Amino acid sequence: MAKQLDYHTIREIFTRFQAAEAEPKGELDHVNAYTLVVAVALSAQATDAGVNKATKELFKIADTPEKMLALGEEGVIEHIKTIGLYRNKAKNVIKLSRILVEHYGGEVPNSRAALESLPGVGRKTANVVLNMWWGHPSQAVDTHIFRFGNRSGVCPGKDVVAVERAIEDHIPVDFQHHAHHWMILHGRYTCVARKPKCAACLIRDLCQFEDKTE
């Protein structure tokens, strides 16, 4: 784990990310808050591309909890069976849709506690929804952010909650909203797991990682 970078270095890192991509976007397709919740819940241990392929037709038929309930668990399975853990995920999608209809008038609640009470929705999913849909600077730490944060020293931490805190504590407020997507995209395409592309990395000179590749 690298040591925590200082304020000026972190500000420079995010200034460069911003110059390269002013409006970074997530890669999970969705058409409203509800389909975002479903897409993120389906994405556990699956790639965004794999989830998008499965939800393309599903969301045409079922873009509200009411329509998802009408489709039923077997109908959901038919659409998502290319995704890992699909049986369990289909069960959760139906359960969470029922709760949304019965307790929230078919709307997606916008508090972390309410989101996390939905089946199949954990801290990460809640943070993604709060950040992407509601514009809240909440930080969902996935495997890409965890790796990048610990290598670079932008937000080191021994577990995801520690990394989440490091992001909140150290990333300047004006970069907090987009920090999530800048770091995910950097981790996914440049600071990749097995052989990071350090030679092409725009923050190579600021990164603390000791085993940079050539």
- Residues catalogued as catalytic: 124, 142
- 209 near ligand SF4, rule: CB under 6 A: yes
**How many CA atoms does the CB half-sphere of 82 hold within 13 Å?**
13
CB contact at 8 A, 163 and 149:
yes
**75-77-80-84 Cα dihedral, nearest 10 degrees:** 170
φ, ψ at 29 (rounded to 5°): -70, 140
Q: Which of 162, 163, 161 is nearest to 149 (CA)?
A: 163
Minimum gap (Å) between residue 161 Cβ and ligand SF4: 22
- 103 near ligand SF4, rule: CB under 6 A: no
Contact region for ligand SF4 (CB under 6 A) — 61-69, 107-115, 162-170, 196-204? 196-204
User: 128-153 in b/e burial notation, b at 16+ Cβ within 10 A?
Assistant: bbbbbbeebbbbbbbebbbbbbbbbb
Nearer to ligand SF4, 36 or 203 (CB): 203
Contact region for ligand SF4 (CB under 6 A) — 19-27, 68-76, 87-95, 198-206? 198-206
Enumerate residues 163-182 that contact ligand SF4 by CB under 6 A: none
Nearer to ligand SF4, 6 or 102 (CB): 6
- Contact residues for ligand SF4, defined by CB under 6 A: 148, 151-152, 190-191, 196-198, 201, 203-204, 207, 209, 212
